[in-house]
Amino acid sequence: MTQRDQNRKGIRRKKGSLEETLSYSIHNDDPSMYSVFYRDKERIKEANLKEFIESDEYSAVPLTRINMILKKGKIVWKKGQKEILVKT
């Protein structure tokens, strides 16, 4: 049974480090302190996390295109890392 099949049957998968970082920063911290860097075509763009989650333009950005998340200039998540780099 694949991960997708398990999710369809109501079996919850474990959140990855990116989802954990986003969830914590949105629900337990001030999202305006975070910056999200994401791939847009051939460029890397930066957006404030609060604006990122509230904007219709950004809602179409898949999680796989997020490269890095900073909190007050400090890296808290970076693509390719298995764990959260800095506990927020």
The predicted-structure confidence for 37-58, as pLDDT tens digits, reads as follows 999 888 999 999 999 888 887 7
As beta bridge partners, residue 39 has 44
Give the C-alpha separation, 51 to 58, whole Å: 8
Give the C-alpha separation, 52 to 47, whole Å: 6
Predicted TM-score (pTM) above 0.85: no
The predicted-structure confidence for 63-73, as pLDDT tens digits, reads as follows 899 999 999 99
Q: Cβ atoms within 10 A of the Cβ of 78, count?
A: 16
The predicted-structure confidence for 4-30, as pLDDT tens digits, reads as follows 555 555 555 556 788 888 999 999 999
Check pLDDT > 80 for residue 35. yes
Determine the pLDDT at residue 57.
76
